[in-house]
Amino acid sequence: MRRMTLADFQKMKDEGRPIAMVTAYDYASALIAEQAGVPAILVGDSLGMVMQGQDTTLPVRVEDMIYHARMVMRGSRKALVVVDLPFLSYATEQDAVDAARRVMQEGGGQALKLEGGREIAPIVRRLTAMGVPVMGHLGLTPQAQHQIGLRAQAKEVQAARKLLDDARALEEAGAFGIVLEVIPADLAALVSKEVRIPTIGIGAGAGCDGQVQVWHDVLGLFEGKSPRHAHRFAEIGAQMVGALSHYVKQVEEGSFPTKAQSVSMAPDILAALTAE
Residues 92/71, Cβ–Cβ less than 8 Å: no
Q: Which stretch binds ligand KIV (CB under 6 A): 37-45, 118-126, 147-155, 163-171?
A: 37-45
What is the distance between the alpha carbons of residues 256 and 270, in angstroms, rounded to a whole number?
A: 22
Closest distance of CB 36 from ligand KIV, Å: 18
Site string for ligand KIV, 12-31 (x = CB under 6 A): -----------x--------
* Residues 176, 200 contacting (CB under 8 angstroms): no
State yes or no: is 223 an active-site residue. no
Task: Provide the minimum distance between the beta carbon of 84 and ligand KIV in the complex, in angstroms, as a whole number.
Answer: 5
As a whole number of angstroms, the distance between CA 18 and CA 22 comes to: 13
Q: Detail the residues annotated as belonging to a binding site for 3-methyl-2-oxobutanoate.
A: 45-46, 84, 113
What single-letter DSSP state applies at residue 227?
P
**Rounded to whole angstroms, how far apart are CA atoms 185 and 182?**
8
Q: Which of 26, 84, 166, 171 binds ligand KIV (CB under 6 A)?
A: 84
Among 24, 80, 178, 214, binds ligand KIV (CB under 6 A): 214
Radius of gyration of the chain (CA): 23
- Of 43-51, 222-230, 232-240, 245-253: span binding ligand KIV (CB under 6 A): 43-51
- Binding string to ligand KIV for residues 144 to 183, with x set by CB under 6 A, is what? -----------------------------------x-x--
Q: Which is nearer to ligand KIV, 123 or 212 (CB)?
A: 212
Identified binder of ligand KIV from the candidate list 44, 109, 139, 184, rule CB under 6 A: 44
Helices (H), 21-143: 27-35, 47-50, 62-75, 93-102, 121-129
34, 63, 171, 181: the active-site residue: 181
From first CA to last CA, the distance across the chain in angstroms is: 61
Beta bridge partners of 200: 179, 210
- Annotated binding-site members: 45-46, 84, 113, 115
C-alpha 186: how far from its chain's center? 24
Which residue number places its CB atom closest to ligand KIV?
A: 44
Half-sphere exposure of 220 toward its Cβ, with a 13 Å CA cutoff?
12
Q: Give the catalytic positions in this structure.
A: 181
Residues near ligand KIV (CB under 6 A) are 23, 42, 44-46, 84, 179, 181, 202, 212, 214
